[in-house]
């Protein structure tokens, strides 16, 4: 398999972690959708990463779709419950974590604009999304919907989202008053799959 993406993308990291946890051998094709003359559109017409090319030549894109495809291969460990409704609940928590990634990426892109062109209202809007979503995720860990010691597509997505917040210094102080989330991500970050996919320092 080939995984097409950027080393700094939290969505790409999510898929890398899943592949590593399942022991699936893959080649990483480093393509940034923001670089000139990138080759991402040959895999995804939307020009977004990640994209996954199977050994049979099929191409899958969008991280929730790729995650679902990998789960259908029925390779241990299972990252979704067998029960369809329970699986849907996990996928909803994945979507919430993915939303944090989207908001963080939007913040980073906004801050990359010249200072005079940046919108403080837009940055505030994204910050509110992140904080509200992190509060919700904290509640889901507290009520057992997310378990700190359980490896699922949702917990992987949450850890990747928070890893990106740390990496880009978005929402500093996110861990204040969120002890359940801290415990969850510390548990995930200790795994080899997360150590191997940590984004580069520069």
Query: Per-residue pLDDT tens for 125-172?
Result: 999 999 999 999 999 999 999 999 999 999 999 999 999 999 999 999
**Half-sphere exposure in the Cβ direction for 144 (13 Å, CA):** 1
Within-domain flag for 200: no
pLDDT at 202: 57
Total domains in the chain come to: 2
Domain that holds residue 181: 84-191
**What mean pLDDT is predicted for residues 104-125?**
96
Q: How far apart are CA 49 and CA 43, in angstroms?
A: 9
**What mean pLDDT is predicted for residues 20-36?**
92
pLDDT at 153: 98
Domain boundary among 41, 72, 103: 72
Within-domain flag for 117: yes
65 in the same domain as 12: yes
Omega prior to 77 cis, within 30 of 0: yes
Burial class (CB in 10 A: 0-12, 13-18, 19+), 154: buried
**What mean pLDDT is predicted for residues 113-127?**
95
pLDDT at 106: 97
- Residue reference for tokens 């894109």: 61
90 in the same domain as 17: no
CB 126 within 8 A of CB 110: yes
Q: What is the CATH number of the domain that holds 124?
A: 1.20.1050.10
62 in the same domain as 103: no
Domain boundary among 43, 72, 101: 72
Evaluate if residue 38 carries a pLDDT over 90.
Answer: no
Within-domain flag for 39: yes
How many C-beta atoms surround the C-beta of residue 150 within 10 A?
13
Within-domain flag for 202: no
The 10s digit of each residue's pLDDT in 64-89 is: 999 999 999 999 999 999 999 999 99
107 in the same domain as 16: no
Mean pLDDT of the chain: 96
**What mean pLDDT is predicted for residues 94-99?**
98
Considering the entire predicted model, what is its pTM?
0.96
């Amino acid at each position: 398999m080939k995984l097409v993406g950027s080393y700094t993308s939290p969505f790409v990291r999510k898929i890398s972690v899943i592949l590593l946890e399942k022991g699936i051998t893959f080649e990483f094709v480093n393509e940034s959708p923001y670089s000139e003359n990138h080759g991402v559109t040959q895999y995804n017409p939307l020009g977004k990463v990640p994209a996954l090319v199977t050994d049979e030549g099929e191409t899958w894109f969008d991280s929730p779709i790729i995650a679902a495809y990998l789960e259908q291969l029925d390779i241990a460990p299972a990252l979704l419950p067998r029960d369809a409704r329970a699986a849907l609940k996990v996928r909803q928590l994945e979507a919430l974590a993915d939303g944090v990634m989207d908001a963080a990426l939007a913040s980073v892109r906004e801050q990359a604009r010249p200072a005079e062109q940046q919108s403080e209202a837009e940055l505030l809007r994204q910050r509110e999304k992140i904080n509200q979503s992190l509060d919700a995720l904290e509640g889901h860990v507290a009520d057992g919907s997310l378990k700190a010691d359980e490896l699922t597509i949702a917990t992987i997505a949450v850890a990747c989202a928070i890893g990106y917040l740390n990496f880009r210094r978005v929402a500093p102080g996110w861990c204040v008053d969120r002890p359940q989330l801290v415990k969850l991500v510390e548990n995930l970050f200790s795994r080899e799959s997360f150590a191997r996919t940590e984004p580069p320092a520069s």
